Amino acid sequence: MRLHTTTVLSLSALAVLALAGCSRGSAVSSGPTSSPAVSVHPDGESAPASAPLSSTALAKLLLDESDLGGDYTRMPQRTAAHDDVTVIGCPALAKIGGDPTTGTSLVFPRKAKASFTYHGGSNSELSEELYSDSAAKLSKGTGEIFDAMVSCPTYQVVSGSTVINVGTRVTAGPDLGDEQWSQLLTYSIGGQHSVVKQTAIRAGNVLVIVSGAPGLVDANLEKGLAKTQGAF
pLDDT of residue 50: 77
Residue 136 domain flag = yes
Residue 175 domain flag = yes
Residue 58 domain flag = yes
pLDDT of residue 98: 47
What is the β-pairing status of strands 124-132 and 110-118?
A: antiparallel
Strand intervals (E) in the chain? 2-4, 38-40, 46-48, 72-74, 84-88, 110-118, 124-132, 154-159, 162-170, 179-189, 192-203, 206-212
pLDDT tens profile 170-193: 999 899 999 999 999 898 888 888
Residue 44 domain flag = no
Residue 45 domain flag = no
pLDDT tens profile 202-213: 999 999 999 999
Burial classification of residue 12, based on how many CB atoms lie within 10 Å of its CB (0-12 exposed, 13-18 middle, 19 or more buried)? buried
3-class SS at 134?
coil
Q: Which domain holds residue 137?
A: 2-30+53-229
Higher pLDDT pick, 58 / 50: 58
DSSP state of 63: -
Residue 46 domain flag = no
Residue 37 domain flag = no
Tally of structural domains, the chain: 1
Residue 211 domain flag = yes
Q: Identify whether the C-beta of residue 113 lies closer than 8 Å to the C-beta of residue 127.
A: yes
CATH number of the domain at 200, please: 3.40.1000.70
